Amino acid sequence: MKLYFKSIIVCLILLCQGCGNDDNGNGVVVIDDDGDEPTIKTLATLTPSNNESPVSKTPSISWENYDSDQPITYSLFLGTTENSLTEIESGLTVTSYEIETDDALDLNTDYFWQIIAYEEGETVAESEVQTFTTELVFPSLITEDAAYGSRKAAGVEVFDDKIWVIGGRNEADVALTDIWSSDDGENWTLEGDFPFGGIYGHELIAFNGKLWIYGGISEGILSNKIFSSEDGIAWVEETETTPFIQYQNSKFEVFGDSIFRIAGYSGDIDDLSPERNVYSSIDGLNWNLEIENHGFDTKYSFQIENLNETLYSFEPNPDLDIEEISTRTSMDGINWSSPEVSEIRERGINSVRTVVLDDKIILMTTPVDGPNPDSTFYESSNGVDWVAATTIDSVPIRAIFYALVNLNGELFAIGGTQRSNFSTTNNTVWKLN
């Protein structure tokens, strides 16, 4: 019986000793020099700030110094969820860390990070877990001299997992016939020639499993011919013709099971000219006049995008002294809402381009602090509330010379596809994400 009680007393003593020690969670008991449980202090972080967006894909991460008379080292932990942080650097003796280009973070991604300070190998301070979101757009020039050659007023479209560039005018203002394609925006293949002569200022659009060409200047005159191709290479001239003509600035969009022609420049000086007519077609060949006036302030100086089965229009104010963009929406391509104004900087009707990516509209426009020939990028999920899509203040590309396209989630700015009546030709290509 005495042996039994002695065993109980020994167990109780050991249990009390265990409660008085500090278990670091790995089965190792840690006691400071005074026998007290050590206090883990909170370490303040500096950059990026918590919930900051957008953050560069090569950010500088910094935190406050831990004050101690002993040498301090730091470890940086990073991950895409709060519960999956990985130590990416240890033994740091400075209070900042630069993520280099070779280790660049993924774009448009939520990241979580934490910093821990050590003294003689023991944790003395740690930060709260912080989060930030990387930029959606990071423009990079992938070629200054694309093989399709310097041109203007070419047609550009994504079709069959490739970017297509067809026609245009060269530096001598000669109408071009060549057909080019690329699956990466950098390497281009000459697919042949458009069999119906040089063409420029036309609309090139994918619809119902085909590429279609409408309008532009064909055989030297304003065209109402319709051309189609099942593979982008072999083209046929359809027997049908369009009831409209337009020379550049065409506004076509696929919406539901139809294709809409919402505007197009033909040189008519009358405000209520056929340039404002809205047509639709379910087969690309036969067109119905839906309404004679689309109702926008300008006849054709706006962008059209289809986001989640809603059409959005983005109309820069034509007055260079008023920097604003008006957004309208439509559920049928015919009736449009009243404009909602965003005070996003623009420099007139040719200073913006748009494209859709990941349920967001990407807007290319003039930087806040200029210069005017450059661009920056914003993003919006509703076409009205805009936030910066990149940390790069200014990119040396100009909207009037580029078209934005989405190739399987990769965004490209294709040079040489806009404005046929300017002398400048272009064949540079930028990758935006």
Average pLDDT for 8-28: 41
pTM here? 0.86
State the Cα–Cα distance between residues 314 and 86, nearest whole angstrom. Answer: 43
Q: Rounded distance, CA 25 to CA 116, Å?
A: 16
| Predicted pLDDT at 320 | 81
pLDDT > 70? residue 340: yes
The one-letter code for the residue type at 127 is S
List the structure tokens of 358: 């990941």
- 298-320 tens-digit pLDDT: 999 999 999 999 999 999 998 88
Split at pLDDT 50, 70, 90, the class of 33 is low
Is residue 201 within 8 A of residue 193, CB to CB? The reply is no
Q: Is the pLDDT of residue 108 over 60?
A: yes
Write phi, then psi, for 109 (nearest 5 degrees): -135, 140
Residue 148 has what pLDDT?
96
% the chain with pLDDT above 90: 79
More confident residue, 350 or 408: 408
The pLDDT value recorded for residue 28 is: 34
- pLDDT score at 424: 85
Residues in Cβ contact with 341 at an 8 Å cutoff, skipping those fewer than 6 apart: 324, 325, 326, 327
Task: Write out pLDDT tens, residues 185-208.
Answer: 999 999 999 999 999 999 999 999
pLDDT of residue 267: 87
Question: Does the structure show a pLDDT above 80 at 4?
Answer: no
139: pLDDT strictly greater than 50: yes
Distances (CA, A) of 301 to 142, 276, 296, 351, 376: 29, 11, 9, 10, 19
What residues pair up with 122 in beta bridges, in sequence order? 119
pLDDT at 370: 82
Q: Please give the Cα distance from 375 to 398 (Å, whole number).
A: 6
| CB-based contacts of 133, cutoff 8 Å, min separation 6 | 51, 52, 53, 54, 55, 108, 109, 110, 111
The tens digit of pLDDT for each residue in 393-407 reads: 999 999 889 999 999
- β pairing state of 189-193 and 178-182: antiparallel
Closest residue by Cα to residue 304 from 274, 264, 275, 268: 264
DSSP, collapsed to helix, strand or coil, labels residue 344 as coil
DSSP 419: -
* pLDDT for position 51: 96
The tens digit of pLDDT for each residue in 64-76 reads 999 998 999 999 9
Q: What is the DSSP letter of 173?
A: -
Range of lowest pLDDT (2-16, 96-110, 226-240, 291-305): 2-16
